[in-house]
Amino acid sequence: MSSKTSNAFHIAAMPGEGIGLEVMEAAQAVLEAVEARFGIAFRSETIPGGAHHYRETGATLPKDGLARAGQADAILFGAMGWPDIRFPDGTEIAPQLDIRMHYGLYAGVRPIRAIPGVPTALADPRAAGIDLVIVRESTEGMFASRGKGEIIDDREARDTQVITRDVTEKLTAFSCGLARRRKATRGTPGRVTLVDKANVFRSFAFMRQVFHETAAKHPDIEARHHYVDAMALDLVRRPWDFDVLPMENLFGDILSDLGAGLIGGMGFAPSADVGDRNAMFQPSHGTAPDIAGQGIANPTAMILSAAMMLDWLGETRSSQAATDAALAIEKGVDKAFGERGLRSQDIGGGHGTVEIGRTVAELVRSGAADPA
């Protein structure tokens, strides 16, 4: 690793474009507060990239961008991609997918947690207790076919799903570890539920078999499975009953947007892409060209992604300061929207990107958000 002491971290900051630039600035204000409060030192290196970068230079990232990102302790990513700027074959510019594939970031961790004061989509009072995590497998599944699908003729096209034992074992072990850590730190039930379609497809029956074989090595964790169609229903009917939900890539793509819809929208949905050695942290949303440059983007997803980065650094680098800082950011967000009554524009309020970032930063810096 590039950093010598456990409380000094080298961060590759990749703000990207659109609202990625704006929410990254807000998250950086919070990380400055973390440095002041928790004695952590960040060495932040900015790496440009995205669709506009492609238009200007002919490449989506600088030549050494991928390598530099991989040398950092963690990658903090804003958003990249722009509707009108595409590759000659019409596909989107998405360096985040290249980073995921290059560094084998198989676990797409997408927490769905109700934030105090933020209206949930469900009227049931139990919705305030929504606290689950979708673990979207991010290197194979249906997306393994990205760029490789076949157009047979003008009447038929095919994409093929790939599920491997190796990645399913890693995904399951990761999910069990996450459920264990959540049980210890948040009192959640320690339950992992695989979401699949094993009644129809052989690849999913295989995935389920490997999942249960692997989960059996984690006897402290309860392992279940659930069909994806039933899960779509139950995420709306009783989302408060679920804990950690590993699933195939495309299922995770769809259900994590549904999950974000439950707790206020994309502006509140952080994510982490974790591999054996590297990890990237980014909001679940994209560049949102319709609101870019207006200062109204909700930076909460980005700020909570920075908290996930600190939590991961805390765990993998044995840094209690980083673990504490992660909890403080989460608590700062809760207090900003709860006690302080902040309302971002995406939930009908008038507080802008900078104001939300500053409020969370001030709560963290002052100690008002220190973990208990």
Where along the sequence are the contacts to ligand ATP (CB under 6 A)?
Answer: 19, 81, 266-267, 285-288, 290-291, 297-298, 301, 346
- By beta-carbon proximity to ligand ATP, the closer residue of 24 and 122 is 24
Following DSSP, what letter does each residue of 246-298 receive, concatenated? EE-HHHHHHHHHHHHHHTT-GGG-EEEEE-SS-EEEEESS---TTTTTTT---
* Least separation in angstroms between CB 287 and ligand ATP: 5
Identify which of residues 7 and 96 has a Cβ nearer to ligand ATP in the complex.
96
Amino acid sitting at position 190: G
What is the largest distance, in Å, between two alpha-carbon atoms of the chain? Answer: 64
In the chain, count H helices and then E strands: 11, 12
Q: For ligand ATP, give the closer residue by CB, 109 or 266.
A: 266
Minimum CB separation from ligand ATP for residue 251, in Å?
Answer: 16
DSSP string, 102-150: HTT--EEEEEEEPPTTSPPS--SGGGGG-EEEEEEE-SSBGGGGTTT-E
Residue in the shown chain whose Cβ atom is closest to ligand ATP: 286
Least distance to ligand ATP, CB of residue 294, Å: 10
Q: Which lies closer to ligand ATP via its Cβ, residue 198 or residue 361?
A: 361
In whole angstroms, the minimum distance from the beta carbon of 258 to ligand ATP comes to 13
Q: Are 48 and 13 in contact (CB under 8 A)?
A: no
Q: How far is the CB of 291 from ligand ATP (least distance, A)?
A: 5
Write down the least CB distance from residue 99 to ligand ATP, Å.
Answer: 14
The smaller minimum CB distance to ligand ATP, of residues 223 and 260, is found at 260
In the complex, minimum distance from the CB of residue 158 to ligand ATP, in angstroms, rounded to a whole number: 23
Q: Least distance from C-beta 268 to ligand ATP, angstroms?
A: 8
Return the number of the residue (288 or 333) whose C-beta is nearest ligand ATP.
Answer: 288
- Under a CB-based contact definition with an 8 Å cutoff, are residues 138 and 104 in contact? no
What's the chain's Rg over C-alpha atoms? 20
> What is the length of the chain?
372
- Tokens 């919070």 belong to 30
CB atoms within 10 A of CB 2: 10
In terms of CB distance, is 22 or 243 closer to ligand ATP? 22
Query: 299-325 in b/e burial notation, b at 16+ Cβ within 10 A?
Result: bbbbbbbbbbbbbbbbeebebebbbbb
- In terms of CB distance, is 56 or 290 closer to ligand ATP? 290
E-assigned strand segments in the chain? 8-16, 41-46, 74-79, 107-113, 131-137, 150-153, 156-158, 191-196, 222-227, 244-247, 270-274, 279-283
